Amino acid sequence: MSALIINSSLLDTEAGIKCSTKRMKRFSPSGQYYPDPSKPPEAEGENINGSKKVKTAQSFESLFDSETLCDVVLDVNDGQFVFKGHKMILGMKSEILAAMLNRVSYNDFENNRPVICLHETTDCSLVFSRFLYFIYSGAVWLHRDYVLSLYKLAEKYAVKSLMQHCESYITQILQNVISDGESARGFPIEVVCDMYEGSTYSEDISDLCFNVLCAKFRDLVTSERWRHCNWQLVCDLLKSDACNAEENVILTSATDWMKKNSLSDKNLIEDILINIRYPLLHRKVLYHLQKNAVFKNFPQVQALVENAVKYHCFKDLPEAKDDFVGIQFKRRVYRPRPSSADSVRSRDIEDSTRQTTSSHSLQSHSVLVQNEQQANSVTEQIYSNFLQAAGQQPFGSTFGVNSTIGQNVVSEPTVHNSGHTSRVHNVSAASFVQNAGVQTGDRSS
């Protein structure tokens, strides 16, 4: 009986699909009762001891590279790849492919075989053979270079078992990056960012992606992907205790993102700036931020800066210990880079920063605020980011910025009290932050 069913499944596609989706009713022409083979044997009084259900993993691996009984052609991307397959196997493992096979018309036949035309992205088409191999064999080799593409195919064609295998492997890779840090080889930071901002993956994987972005924050902000991160992701990263960077890096990265996205909405700017932990900044940076009222249009931020100044003044007084509590005063989880080639690169950047700050590139994020000269460099990086909104009101020349509305100009060298000489290049004629309130009004209004 079973042999006939298998043959009829192979010869009759429609019948084969129905067998895979709906239980077939069996009967005996003689009327003789037959036991249900899907259930354990019945016993009189109580169950029989020692009964055991065994199951062999179903595999059609031997048919993967065989044209024996092939009855369908899969054409991927108009002939880029062509696979000959078996309708029964494809329909049994994928409901989506089963539905496509049921819709095949006689116009789609070629050499007496129906042709299913599939359109896949380039990365997915390159692993389509691995996807088919899993359908036939139930096995697959996974690798970080293509596991995401394989997952997309599994999701598209509803092959849940392959989705689960891919999710488990993706989870393992992300967890290794979080636990091992610089030594782990994971996905490129741009890919992790896309995974988090997309809606393809499970909530657990999205959470792991966010943790990776926190752990690799310095890599993210030095990549081209940083400017394309959405506003909510930027806020979430700046708010997180796990954001793996010193506070000056976090502040300059935030202002750089606002500059590159020409952010002028006061409410959005303030929602970003209130996540900076100002007490963790160098006193030199705080001095300039307060003295020049950089955040005068942002009352909440200005209050945080003033409170940070008080913290540096009175933090050693026993009676003031209860005045400085809360998230603003909590240090983030910060892991310095290993003392290898990275540290050499960091020292080179540091030496270059001491000589000149004419190049306000994102590489300056690698410099740690540990002395006044470096604090000056960080301060000027912040101002360079702020002074980029052409067409607004002039900012002023307190920091050597010669302002002309609507034009980019180069300032003359400015000597600060610390004796540090610097030059600010390519600064436009207006203040980025100070005038945001002029465009949008105060939050309270």
Q: Both tokens of residue 296?
A: 């005068």
Q: For residues 399 and 431, what is the distance between their CA atoms, to the nearest angstrom?
A: 12
pLDDT, greater one: 112 or 61? 61
pLDDT, greater one: 42 or 284? 284
Query: Is the same domain home to 304 and 437?
Result: yes
Q: Both tokens of residue 416?
A: 């600060």
Alpha helices, H only, 12-76: 13-21
Query: Is the same domain home to 280 and 426?
Result: yes
Query: Is the same domain home to 213 and 309?
Result: no
pLDDT, greater one: 342 or 11? 342
Query: Is the same domain home to 276 and 352?
Result: yes
Domain that includes residue 112, residue range: 1-24+61-119
Query: Is the same domain home to 194 and 310?
Result: no
Answer for the pair 83, 74: CB distance below 8 angstroms, yes or no: yes
For residue 416, tell me if it sits in a domain. yes
- What's the rounded mean pLDDT across residues 328-355? 60
Q: For residues 228 and 207, what is the distance between their CA atoms, to the nearest angstrom?
A: 20
Split into its structural domains, the chain has a count of 3
Query: Is the same domain home to 92 and 127?
Result: no
Say what the pLDDT of residue 184 is.
Answer: 78
Last residue of a domain, one of 229, 256, 271: 229
Query: How crowded is residue 132: how many other Cβ atoms within 10 Å of its Cβ?
Result: 20
At 280, the pLDDT band (50, 70, 90 cuts) reads: very high
At 221, the pLDDT band (50, 70, 90 cuts) reads: very high
Q: Alpha carbon of 82 to those of 69, 126, 132, 157, 162: distances in Å?
A: 17, 12, 12, 18, 22
For residue 380, tell me if it sits in a domain. yes
- Strand extents, DSSP E, 298-425: 414-415, 421-422
- What's the rounded mean pLDDT across residues 261-268? 90
For residue 154, tell me if it sits in a domain. yes
Query: Is the same domain home to 182 and 259?
Result: no
For residue 405, tell me if it sits in a domain. yes
Q: For residues 435 and 253, what is the distance between their CA atoms, to the nearest angstrom?
A: 20
For residue 328, tell me if it sits in a domain. yes
For residue 37, tell me if it sits in a domain. no
The chain-wide mean pLDDT, for the chain, equals 74
Query: Is the same domain home to 363 and 377?
Result: yes
pTM for the model stands at: 0.69
- Which range in 5-9, 89-93, 106-110, 378-382 is most confidently predicted, on average pLDDT? 89-93
For residue 194, tell me if it sits in a domain. yes
The CATH number of the domain where 6 resides is what? 3.30.710
Query: Is the same domain home to 394 and 302?
Result: yes
At 375, the pLDDT band (50, 70, 90 cuts) reads: low
Say what the pLDDT of residue 164 is.
Answer: 94
Helix (H, G, I), strand (E, B) or coil at 83: strand
β-strands 414-415, 109-110: how paired?
A: unpaired
Answer for the pair 379, 372: CB distance below 8 angstroms, yes or no: no
Contacts of 174 (CB under 8 A, 6+ apart): 186, 187, 192, 205, 208, 209, 211, 212
Query: Is the same domain home to 302 and 322?
Result: yes
For residue 218, tell me if it sits in a domain. yes
Lowest mean pLDDT of 17-21, 154-158, 363-367, name the range.
Answer: 363-367
Which residues face 118 on adjacent strands? 76
Q: Both tokens of residue 344?
A: 């050499």
Last residue of a domain, one of 229, 254, 273: 229
Q: Alpha carbon of 191 to those of 149, 186, 409: distances in Å?
A: 12, 10, 37
Query: Is the same domain home to 202 and 346?
Result: no
